Amino acid sequence: MEQTGRKSLFPEKRTKPRMKCDYPVTMQWQNAQGQKFVETARVIDLSSSGALVATQCSIANEAEIHVKIALSSESPEWDSSQLATRGTVVRNEHLSDGAIGIAIKFQKYRFL
| pTM score, whole prediction | 0.80
Residue 1 domain flag: no
Residue 43 domain flag: yes
Q: What is the DSSP string of the chain?
A: -PPP----SSPP---S-EEEEEEEEEEEEE-TT--EEEEEEEEEEEESSEEEEEESS---TT-EEEEEEESS-SSTT--S-EEEEEEEEEEEEE-TTS-EEEEEEEEEEEE-
Q: How confident is the model at residue 10 (pLDDT cuts 50, 70, 90)?
A: low
Q: Flag the least confident range among 3-7, 9-13, 63-67, 81-85.
A: 3-7
Residue 24 domain flag: yes
pLDDT in tens, 22-41: 999 999 999 999 999 999 99
Residue 50 domain flag: yes
Residue 8 domain flag: no
Residue 33 domain flag: yes
Residue 9 domain flag: no
Average pLDDT rounded to a whole number, residues 67-93 = 83
Q: Which range of residues forms the domain containing residue 28? A: 18-80+104-111
Domain count, the chain: 1
Residue 54 domain flag: yes
What is the average pLDDT score of the chain? 86
Share of the chain above pLDDT 70, in %: 79
